[in-house]
């Protein structure tokens, strides 16, 4: 029996589930992270992503590191004194460099020099976010750790928590420091394994990346807010005028169609970003839940920070999306009502036209009957004359006068002419 054939994508789809394993990371460690996004609608960029791959190859060649497969969407390997993890996503690419040499100055900007300046300048896009993460062993007292957090982060924005049942303590203020990077600190005890540390770091970086991506929807909401407000007022004014019948329905319908076109254009431009915001927000929430936070030293955790600082922005995006949906529905209903009013008025006009046509037809019928009567009279006159001329010789033979003979044939001739005219009319009708 021949073996069953595999679907051509079976191995590729299965491999995709294992394509991006968590790195093994041991403390102490410094992690430099960079996410690059092309300007505009990055999801529609060249499908082979040749620019992204060329940029990765340039970095690897700078360090003399092995090159990836041309069709790769992810890469992990040694790069000089570092290990580089590269991932290609729908809208952006990420570079994560791991080094085991901590600088004496925490979050020293020189730690980001793993990405050369000339290489950054040639990036095929713009920096979406960049981070410096400092991984250290958890030693000493809790007060010493709190001193570090107060020194490294802005206290009013600081979020810190124990994660994964005490596997680590993570902290960040989600601010951009003077060097242009977001800071994360991770403290791990001796018993925490390297793979678990790698998962924690990966989730923290994903929280930062997807948080930033979802905030693009908030920026778009601010950008289109003025235009949406103007369209909303125009739509309300048109509906008020439609209710008061201040304008002719055709004029109102034309204006309403103009507003609807502008509104649909805004919806089309924002649909992709709003859908992306919803998806990215779901990832942020899922990654925070995966950390399984517990309170540390009375500080707010990442979940609480997001609830206070991030969730209001996301609710604004959702509110704008729903507002656009409601406005589109209002415009559609108003258009339907106006079309109905126009159709009713046109029906009334058509009814009046039909009534006028009926009157004309009745007049034409009466006129036709009049003409037929006159035709009968005229034809009868000539027919009687012809018959009389034919019968005049009989008048001398019978002794009848011509007048009496003409009178005798008039009624039969008129009757025959009338019958002939009616028969012809029936055939034509």
Q: What is the DSSP string of 287-339?
A: HHHHH--EE-TT---HHHHIIIIIHHHHHHHHHHHHHHHHHHHHHHHHHHHHH
Give Cα 245 to chain centroid, integer Å: 34
* Per-residue model confidence (pLDDT) at position 358: 77
Distance CA 194, CA 23 (A): 8
Kindly state whether residues 55 and 37 are assigned to the same domain: yes
* 408: containing domain: 360-428
As for how many domains the chain has, the answer is: 3
Distance CA 385, CA 407 (A): 11
Kindly state whether residues 341 and 237 are assigned to the same domain: yes
Distance CA 320, CA 308 (A): 19
Pairing of strands 126-137, 182-188: parallel
Question: Which region, left, alpha or beta, applies to residue 125 given φ > 0 means left and ψ of -120 to 50 means alpha?
Answer: left
Sign of CA dihedral 261, 264, 268, 273: positive
Kindly state whether residues 108 and 253 are assigned to the same domain: no
- The CATH number of the domain holding residue 273 is 1.20.58
- Of 286, 321, 352, which residue is a domain's last? 352
Q: For the chain, what is the radius of gyration of the CA atoms?
A: 45
Distance CA 60, CA 72 (A): 14
* Per-residue model confidence (pLDDT) at position 19: 64
What is the full per-residue pLDDT of the chain (429 aa) written as tens digits? 457 888 888 877 776 666 666 788 888 999 999 999 987 665 555 555 788 999 999 999 999 999 998 888 889 999 989 999 999 988 999 999 999 888 889 999 999 999 999 999 999 999 999 999 999 998 778 888 999 999 999 999 999 999 999 999 999 999 999 999 999 999 999 999 999 999 999 999 999 999 999 999 999 999 999 999 998 888 888 777 776 666 566 677 777 788 888 888 999 889 999 999 999 999 999 999 999 999 998 899 999 999 999 999 999 999 999 999 998 888 888 777 777 776 777 777 777 787 778 787 777 777 776 766 667 677 776 776 776 766 667 666 666 666 776 776 677 777 777 777 777 767 765
What token pair was written down for 9?
A: 């994508």
Residue 5 lies in a domain: no
Kindly state whether residues 129 and 80 are assigned to the same domain: yes
Kindly state whether residues 88 and 191 are assigned to the same domain: yes
Kindly state whether residues 289 and 347 are assigned to the same domain: yes
The answer to whether the CB of 294 falls within 8 A of the CB of 244 is no
Distance CA 98, CA 83 (A): 5
Could you read off the pLDDT of 16-53 as tens digits, one per residue? 666 666 788 888 999 999 999 987 665 555 555 788 99
For the question of whether the overall pTM of this predicted structure is more than 0.85, the answer is no
Residue 210 lies in a domain: no
Kindly state whether residues 175 and 26 are assigned to the same domain: yes
Kindly state whether residues 317 and 184 are assigned to the same domain: no
Residue 118 lies in a domain: yes
* Per-residue model confidence (pLDDT) at position 20: 64
For the chain, percent helix, then strand, then coil, each to nearest 5?
Answer: 60, 15, 20
First-to-last C-alpha distance (Å) of the chain: 82
């Amino acid at each position: 029996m021949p073996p069953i054939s595999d679907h051509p994508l079976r191995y590729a789809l299965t491999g995709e589930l294992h394509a991006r394993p968590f790195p093994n990371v041991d403390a102490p460690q410094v992690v430099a992270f960079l996410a690059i996004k092309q300007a505009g609608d990055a999801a529609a960029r060249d499908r082979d992503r040749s620019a992204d791959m060329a940029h990765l190859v340039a970095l690897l060649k700078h360090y003399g590191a092995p090159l990836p497969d041309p069709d790769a969407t992810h890469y992990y390997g040694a790069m000089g004194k570092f290990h580089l993890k590269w991932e290609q996503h729908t809208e952006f690419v990420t570079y994560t460099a791991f080094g085991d040499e901590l600088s004496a100055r925490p979050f020293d900007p020189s730690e980001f020099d793993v990405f050369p300046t000339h290489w950054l300048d040639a990036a095929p896009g713009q920096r979406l976010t960049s981070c410096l993460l400092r991984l250290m062993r958890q030693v000493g007292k809790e007060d010493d750790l709190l001193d570090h957090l107060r020194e490294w982060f802005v206290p009013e924005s600081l979020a810190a928590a124990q994660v994964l049942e005490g596997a680590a303590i993570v902290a960040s203020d989600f601010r951009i420091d003077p060097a242009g990077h977001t800071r994360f600190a991770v403290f791990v005890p001796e018993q925490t394994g390297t793979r678990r540390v790698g998962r924690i770091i990966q989730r923290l970086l994903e929280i930062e990346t997807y948080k930033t991506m979802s905030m693009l929807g908030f920026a778009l909401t601010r950008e289109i807010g003025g235009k949406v407000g103007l369209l909303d007022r125009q739509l309300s004014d048109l509906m008020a005028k439609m209710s008061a019948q201040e304008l002719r329905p055709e004029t109102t319908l034309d204006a309403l169609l103009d507003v609807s076109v502008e509104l649909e254009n805004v919806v089309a431009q924002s649909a992709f970003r709003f859908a992306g915001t919803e998806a990215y927000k779901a990832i942020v929430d899922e990654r925070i839940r995966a950390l399984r936070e517990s309170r540390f030293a009375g500080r707010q955790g990442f979940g609480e920070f997001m609830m206070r600082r991030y969730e209001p922005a996301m609710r604004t995006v959702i509110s704008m999306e729903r507002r656009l949906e409601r406005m589109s529905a209002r415009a559609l209903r108003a258009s339907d009502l106006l079309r109905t009013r126009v159709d009713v008025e046109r029906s009334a006009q058509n009814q009046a036209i039909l009534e006028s046509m009926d009157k004309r037809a009745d007049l034409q019928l009466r006129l036709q009957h009049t003409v037929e009567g006159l035709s009968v009279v005229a034809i009868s006159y000539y027919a009687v004359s012809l018959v009389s001329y034919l019968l005049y010789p009989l008048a001398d033979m019978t002794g009848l006068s011509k007048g009496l003979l003409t009178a005798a044939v008039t009624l039969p001739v008129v009757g025959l002419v009338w019958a002939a005219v009616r028969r012809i009319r029936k055939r034509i009708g």
